[in-house]
Every structure is written in C-alpha cells, then in structure tokens.
Amino acid sequence: MAKTLFDKVWDRHVVIPETPEHPATLYIGLHLIHEVTSPQAFSVLKERGLSVRRPDRTLATIDHSTPTLISPDGSRPYVTPQAERQVETLLTNAKTHGIETHGWDSPHRGIVHVMSPELGATQPGMTIVCGDSHTSTHGAFGAIAFGIGTTQVGHVLANQSILMRKPKTMAIEINGTLGHGVTPKDIILAIIAKIGIGGGTGYALEYRGNVFEDMSMDGRMTVCNMSIEAGARCGMIAPDQTTFDYLKGRKYTPKDFNAACKDWLSLQTDKGAKFDKTVIMAAEDIRPMVTYGTHPGMAIAIDSLIPPADTAADKSALDYMQVTSGTAMSGTKINRVFIGSCTNSRMEDLRAAANILRGQSIAQSVTAIVVAGSETIKAEAEAEGLHEVFLKAGAQWREPGCSMCLGMNGDIGAPGELIISTSNRNFAGRQGPGVRTVLASPETAAASAITGIITDPRSVMAPPIPCKPNLGSPA
Amino acid sequence: MSFKPITQITSKTLVLPASNIDTDQIMPARFLTMTTKTGLGKHLFHDWRYNDDGTETDHELNSLAAKDCQILIGGHNFGCGSSREHAPWALTDYGFRVVMSSEIADIFRGNSLKNGLLPIVIDKAAHQWLLDHPSEEVTVDLESCEVRLPKNGGTYKFEIDAFSRHCLMQGIDEMGYLQGQSDALDTFEARYERN
Ligand code: SF4
C-alpha cells in the first residue's frame, strides 16, 4: 500500500501497535531536554527509583531561563534565584544520569531546536521529542518530531518510548513562484491564517510542493517550527539533497553517510498515498505577513487592512493590541524589535536582517535586540561581521538563548509596548505583562527597526533581479 | 504518583467564556521556573487574578465559591498554546477535576488526561447551555460517559478513549503501564539498533 512520509517513519518506531483499547507504544530515537520541563520528570524518576534508559539517546541544553547579557565582571546575572536553580537542577540531573549536556562551557549550547540540527543529532526518519511544543521544528528533516509534557518526559527518560495514538495526515501543498520579499515566515503565517489555529488539530502535516523543495533547511525549520501554531503536533518535509547537504559532516551524522542518505530518500511519500486532508495554496498569493491580534492565526498581508472582528474574542484581541478593524498594521508605531527565537535565529535570518540594517540606523525611539539561536550561530555570524552591522545600526547583540520569545529569563518589554518579533507566539503577555506582540519575518522586523513603525520590507529591500522574459508561446 | 480515581463528579461550574484561552493565560511563562508541581494553583490565571502590587482582583476565580468548583467551563478552543504541563498541574492544584469546552487543544487535553484532569469536548448546544448557566450543579459521569445538566438542560454523551478512561477510573498512570512493557521494548530496541 502506498504510504506517506509520516506513515513510514511512524511504522519504523511502533513497539506495540495501537488497538481500540490502548494507544501505540512508540519508540523515541532522540530525546531533547532543557531546564524548564525536565525537573519534575527527574523527580518522578527519583521517587520511583528508576534510571534513564538511554542517556545516549538524550541530549540536554540550557536555553529558556538563561540570561542573554554578561556583566562586566563576566558573571551571568539570572532574572531570579529560581531561574538559576532551574538551570542548575538540569545540569545536576543530566550529570547524575550521564546525559550529554551543552551548558555554559559548550561551544554548541543553544536553543534546543537550533542546537540539535546543528549537531546532526536531528536526522531524517527519526522520532524526536522534547518537552517543548516547538519540537515540530525538527520535522524539517523528515523526522516525526513533537512536543511532549513533563509527565511524558519522565516516560521517555525511563522507557525511551511514549504512548500515543496515530494522528491523521494533512498535506499542505504550495507550488508556484514566491513574490519579492516573501520569506518562509510569511508562508507559515499565511498557512496558519488560512487553516486557523485549530486547523491542524489531530493531524500530522506534510508540507509539499516546489516552494518547500526549493527552500533551504533554515527556511524549512522556520515553517515546521510553527506547525504547532496551527494546532498540529508535527509538520514534516521529505528529506532530499538539501537535507543531506546540510547534515553532511556534522558531529552525530551516521558513519556510513551515503547508505543513510539512500535509506532516507526512501522515506518520501509514495505516489498515490492518501492524506486524510489536503490544503492547496498558491505561492503567488502569499505576501509579507504580520499579525494583528493575540494568536498567530490573526495574521494579514502587510499591505492589507485588519479584518472586522466578528467574535467577542476577536474584539478583545484587537482591544488588547490597540488596533482597529479596517486600518493597516503598517505605519503602527513600535517600541521594540526582537530578532531571534527557534523560529528565526539561524544564519539565514541574521543575514537577511543584516542586509537590511547594513549602513542604516535604528530609529531613536526603538530598542532592538538580536539574539542568535546558538553559540555556533553567534560565532559564525561574528566571523561574517554581522554583529558589527547590528551594533553599528544601534541594535544589541546578545548571548544565545530563547530570550524575548517568552521572556522567562527577564528579557521582556514594558506594559503597553509594541514589539515586532520574529518569534512564534503573540499571545497576550507572552513578552511581558501588557506587552503587544506583532509576529513578522526578520526582514520586516529589520525594516521596521529603521523606521520605528511597522514597515513593508519590500520598501527597503533591493529590487528583485528581473526574470528572463518568457520567450515561449503563452500556455 | 497516582491520583484520586474519577468515576462521577457533581459540582457547581465555574465559567470562563472567552474563546482561545491559551496556556500563557492559564499559567504565565514567568512561573515556569518552579521545579515542583505543588503550589501552582496560587498562580493559576495569575494575570487575571492579581493586580500589579500583588493584591487580588475581583475576578471570580478569587471568590470563595470558586474554590469549591470542580468543573471548569472554558470558551471554544480552551488550552491552546504551549505544551506546558504547568497548566493542568495548576488547574488540579487549584481544585478542578474536569474541564469542558466545545473544543480543547490537543496537547493540553493529552497533558490533562495524564494528570488526573478530565477534559471533555462537549456538544455545542450543551456548551452554550453551560456558558449561559454559570454556577449550576452539573454531573459528569465517567462510567456512562455522560454529562447531566440540571433544569432540563439535558444529558449529553462525551467521548474519551478507552485507555484514558480506564486510567482515570483506576487512578493509575502511564508510567506503570510502560514499565510493564519492558520485554517488548528490549526486543524492539535490539532490532532498531541493528538497522
Ligand atoms: S525560542 Fe521560544 S518557542 Fe523556541 S524553544 Fe525557546 S521559548 Fe520555545
């Protein structure tokens, strides 16, 4: 029977198949842990006298509560003693159980979903879990990757498996030519705006079509990262040469790399395989996007107007955001800019922002911070001189981590402020109590930083190189 | 780490009618640095319940009557957002045992089931009735998978998978269940490593 990518990877990991009475037991190839969602799981292990079954399939980092500023004396001031305790708890637990950890001393430390692909630990055909909903990022490599709760973190630590029912599958197909200034972030925001924040609930998504085939790994990660914002547990893209080129030579990639690639290629969805649902969109219809409300589905093209608020929830979202139906988001005054998070903190994102900020100054009224996703990216960006572009423009260049994406480490805005952010969630209060968040691409964030108002990036970007005229006869 | 079994619960409801109540509202991110589960109920819906100076607002979650409610009625798409389990921990620590809505986000629902909180996706008509009739005494019967509304509100069936129902009714958790499968796991793992 013709199978989808999801089916193939799923089938490889079924320990005990599901029945009407019980869910499947699914084996986990890679378990990523960080300080926030693991402490209670380790305490359960301790309470029950259990050990970690496969420390060698577990990888730890610190990212959420970590400070992004270093004091002049070299210390790293935590937002609260509790945050520091949380990080220390992770480091102690990982050490006790023999888990490879990328703490302060590691040149690889970073946001968990940025670091693992960089190490080549994330591989096609794997099952990957982490106590973090944006684990869907790793689906960019053709892995089944999804977030789990702390109780399940405990299950995976102790049993390297979890109980789960197989989700349905949904294909999201986008073909065509993307317009100028349209980035992977805009594509995923457009998808979520179309299917809604509950549209993917109960489904595993597969992104298909030439738009994703032509996309870099950085871009694919941005797209898969936000699958969860459409309600889907995971989103995947079939592994191909782009995937293999990215993985080649990284620390954890298989020794017999060519054999592995051959196997990974076989994971593609078979011709004739059936999805439970298919959504088709045209690349030409997608424009740079911004959010205007308090969830990622409340997104519009930057050159269009805020739609009418039909429900009480929509009305209160607009009130919270202090915006009005029928007006444009572009032109709205901003206070802060955040370029970072596991959605948009990789090299491609930083380069895109730097290209816009090069030789420019950030508006006086704006505080902009740029936070690389990992120590690896920070070093690479500095080698390219990107940090100098940011600093010269007047932005801050901080230490890698989740930072202002959820503000757990104290990187937050002041009440009422508007932040244009490359992260993935614009929930009320996520970036600080009363803070208003507008999600956008690094390009849009950078363009807005210069003007101090929400700005269409196409207005500041170099014009596209014109395509060769089509000399063929009209189709 | 098992919990009190749920068979039948009769309690007044507490209604939070807003749609899309996300996990950042239920448990703001700045409280995620806690390394234990207990005491989280105090921070449940923190930004709704407390003023900047730490004093309580007049939100009904702060009322004495709310403390006795075991059934929470949420607006459409309750629990969307992050996978933080602090949300169901806080809800149960506060005293809720059942959450009902016309739609409940996937991960939140899964997390609830693992932590002794029964999430019920209820028929739209029943949901509307519940939103329109706050503080009524409602019965949730896990044995018959029924929600019984008073005042001729009617009786509605709900769905829950057999496994979760079994676990909730027995008060057992999945860890024990998985531990019991270690032979199958050994066999699988040996084959998996070879490939
Ligand atoms: S960057 Fe944001 S979304 Fe990503 S892991 Fe960190 S907190 Fe979560």
Residue A469 confidence (pLDDT): 52
The sheet that has A14-16: what strands, in order across it? A14-16, A24-27, A161-164
What dihedral do alpha carbons B45, B92, A405, B33 form, nearest 10°?
100
φ, ψ (nearest 5 deg) of residue A452? 80, 0
Q: Where in chain A is the domain with CATH 3.30.499.10?
A: 5-72+83-280, 309-455
Q: Are residues B33 and A149, on separate chains, in Cβ contact within 8 Å?
A: no
What pTM does this model have?
Answer: 0.86
Write out the DSSP string of A253-283. Answer: S-SSHHHHHHHHHTTSPPTTPPPSEEEEEEG
**What's the rounded Cα separation, in Å, for the pair B67 and B96?**
9
Tell me the torsion sign for CA atoms A294, B24, A401, A297: negative
Q: Give the residue among A392, A403, A346 at the shortest CA–CA distance from A369.
A: A403
What would the pLDDT profile of A286-336 be if each residue is shown by its tens digit? Answer: 999 999 999 999 999 999 999 999 999 899 999 999 999 999 999 999 999
In the predicted structure, residue B24 carries a pLDDT above the cut 70: yes
- How far B35 CA lies from chain A's nearest CA (Å)? 6
In the predicted structure, residue A449 carries a pLDDT above the cut 90: yes
In the predicted structure, residue A473 carries a pLDDT above the cut 60: no
**What's the rounded Cα separation, in Å, for the pair A64 and A405?**
9
Write out the DSSP string of B95-112. Answer: T--EEEES-B-HHHHHHH
Partner residue opposite B185 with nearest CB, options A15, A149, A198: A15
| Sequence letter at residue A447 | A
Tell me the pLDDT of chain B averaged across its residues: 89
Å from CA of A471 to ligand 1 middle: 47
Q: What is the CA radius of gyration of chain A?
A: 22
What would the pLDDT profile of B134-170 be if each residue is shown by its tens digit? Answer: 989 999 999 999 999 999 889 999 999 898 998 899 8
Å from CA of A431 to ligand 1 middle: 12
Residue B1 confidence (pLDDT): 43
- Is residue A349 within 8 Å of residue A442, measured between CB atoms? yes
- How far B82 CA lies from chain A's nearest CA (Å)? 6
Q: Give the residue among A54, A169, A71, A153 at the shortest CA–CA distance from A112.
A: A153
A127: three-class secondary structure by DSSP: strand
Q: Are residues A202 and B106, on separate chains, in Cβ contact within 8 Å?
A: yes
**What's the rounded Cα separation, in Å, for the pair A137 and A395?**
27
Q: Is any atom of ligand 1 closer than 6 Å to the C-beta of A443?
A: no
Å from CA of A402 to ligand 1 middle: 5
Q: Is any atom of ligand 1 closer than 6 Å to the C-beta of A132?
A: yes
Overall size of chain B counted in residues: 195
Q: Is any atom of ligand 1 closer than 6 Å to the C-beta of A68?
A: no
What would the pLDDT profile of B44-90 be if each residue is shown by its tens digit? Answer: 999 999 998 889 999 989 988 888 899 999 999 999 887 778 899 89
| Structure tokens belonging to residue B57 | 């607002």
**What's the rounded Cα separation, in Å, for the pair B29 and B35?**
13
Query: Which residues, at least 6 apart from A452, have a Cβ–Cβ distance to it below 8 Å?
Result: A333, A334, A363, A364, A365, A366
φ, ψ (nearest 5 deg) of residue A316? -70, -30
Residue A465 confidence (pLDDT): 65
| Sequence letter at residue B160 | I
Please count the helices (runs of H) and the strands (runs of E) in chain A. 15, 19
A101: three-class secondary structure by DSSP: strand
Q: State the fold for domain A309-455.
A: Aconitase; domain 3 (3.30.499)
pLDDT band at A474 (very low <50, low <70, confident <90, very high): very low
pLDDT band at B2 (very low <50, low <70, confident <90, very high): low
| Orientation angle between helical segments B162-170 and B106-113, nearest 10 degrees | 40
Three-state DSSP string of A434-466: CCEEEECCHHHHHHHHHHCECCCHHHCCCCCCC
> Given CB atoms, is A19 within the 8 Å cutoff of chain B?
no
Closest atom of ligand 1 relative to the A423 alpha carbon: 2
**What's the rounded Cα separation, in Å, for the pair A117 and A138?**
7
Partner residue opposite B178 with nearest CB, options A132, A163, A313: A163
DSSP summary character for residue A433: T
Measured in whole angstroms, the distance separating CA A321 from the mean position of its chain's CA atoms is 23
Q: Which residues pair with A147 in a beta bridge?
A: A130
Residues A302-311: contacts with CB under 8 Å, at least 24 apart: A302/A329, A302/A330, A302/A440, A302/A444, A302/A454, A302/A456, A302/A457, A303/A328, A303/A330, A303/A456, A304/A328, A311/B19
Q: Is any atom of ligand 1 closer than 6 Å to the C-beta of A134?
A: yes
Q: Is any atom of ligand 1 closer than 6 Å to the C-beta of A406?
A: yes
In the predicted structure, residue B18 carries a pLDDT above the cut 70: yes
ipTM: 0.88
Under CATH, which architecture does the A5-72+83-280 domain have? 2-Layer Sandwich (3.30)
Write out the DSSP string of B7-49. Answer: SEEEEEEEEE--SS-BHHHHS-GGGTT--SSTTGGGGTTHHHH
DSSP summary character for residue B117: -
Q: Which residues pair with A16 in a beta bridge?
A: A25
Domains of chain B: 8-160 (3.20.19.10)
Which has more pLDDT, A359 or B115? A359
- How far A418 CA lies from chain B's nearest CA (Å)? 18
